[in-house]
A and B are shown apart, each in its own frame.
Chain A
Amino acid sequence: DAKTTQPNSMESNEEEPVHLPCNHSTISGTDYIHWYRQLPSQGPEYVIHGLTSNVNNRMASLAIAEDRKSSTLILHRATLRDAAVYYCILSYGAGSYQLTFGKGTKLSVIP
């Protein structure tokens, strides 16, 4: 199974951009890259996903390396509400529903 590697923790100042890295060197051609986040005492929530091209939505941007072996979640202006654990997840191929969560990156936002 393709796995992801993320830093255990990161810090950011409020209102500054945040770049959360994820390595997935064994990704296969049909694996989607998903990002979820989990705020304290809540269930995970979807942030963004992509396959090959960079993606933007109202929450964040996803930058995918050309070889797809890494990706970066970009929060354009961190707020205190963005303090959460961020999970980078690969869905194993177009035929799979399974999301296998790792430990994620705990993002702290400093006022």
Chain B
Amino acid sequence: EAGVVQSPRYKIIEKKQPVAFWCNPISGHNTLYWYLQNLGQGPELLIRYENEEAVDDSQLPKDRFSAERLKGVDSTLKIQPAELGDSAVYLCASSLGAGKGQETQYFGPGTRLLVL
């Protein structure tokens, strides 16, 4: 079975440019997460979806970040405009969404963003 798929794997852009990341979760997983990971740190949650609804976006910087999960499957995370401090790895994860508190999250390989 395929795992969580993310693209692109790497992205280099100049500051003030827009950028988008795509995630395809594991088939049948209702819950989808976007995380941000800075160098030497653990991942930090940006947003969580239950099907197509964003149920926790409290950590998403809404002035420049946006996300969508149309039809409750694939998801896109966008940054516009990008800033130098946005250079990081953006991770997508998914889970079944049935076992609260003991949910296993399955992570993709991440997209490494470098803003110049």
| A46 and B105 within 8 A (CB) | yes
- The contact string, 1 if C-beta is below 8 Å from chain A, for chain B 66-110, is 000000000000000000000000010101000011111111111
Contacting B45 at CB < 8 Å: which of A30, A87, A95, A98?
A98
Q: Is A17 an interface residue (CB 8 A)?
A: no
Q: Is B40 an interface residue (CB 8 A)?
A: yes
Say what secondary structure dominates the interface of chain A. Answer: loop
Name B residues whose Cβ lies closer than 8 Å to a Cβ of A: 4, 31, 40-45, 48, 56, 91, 93, 95, 100-110
| A94 and B110 within 8 A (CB) | no
Contacting B110 at CB < 8 Å: which of A43, A102, A103?
A43
Q: How far is the CB of B34 from chain A (nearest CB, A)?
A: 12
Q: Is A99 an interface residue (CB 8 A)?
A: yes
**Inter-chain contacts of B106 with A (CB < 8 A):** 45-46
**Inter-chain contacts of B95 with A (CB < 8 A):** 97
C-alpha spacing A65/B102, complex, angstroms: 19
- The contact string, 1 if C-beta is below 8 Å from chain B, for chain A 94-111, is 111111111110000000
C-alpha spacing A4/B31, complex, angstroms: 25
Name A residues whose Cβ lies closer than 8 Å to a Cβ of B: 30-32, 36, 41-46, 49, 51, 87, 91, 93-104
**Inter-chain contacts of B40 with A (CB < 8 A):** 103
C-alpha spacing A3/B109, complex, angstroms: 26
Residue of A nearest to B42 (CB): A101
Given contacts A43-B93, A103-B41, A104-B42, contact A32 B108 (CB under 8 A): no
Given contacts A96-B100, A97-B100, contact A45 B42 (CB under 8 A): no
| A97 and B48 within 8 A (CB) | yes
**Inter-chain contacts of A36 with B (CB < 8 A):** 105
| B107 and A45 within 8 A (CB) | yes
**Inter-chain contacts of B56 with A (CB < 8 A):** 97-98
C-alpha spacing A46/B107, complex, angstroms: 9
Contacting B42 at CB < 8 Å: which of A91, A93, A103?
A103
Q: How far is the CB of B112 from chain A (nearest CB, A)?
A: 8
Given contacts A46-B105, A94-B101, contact A101 B31 (CB under 8 A): no
**Inter-chain contacts of A100 with B (CB < 8 A):** 45
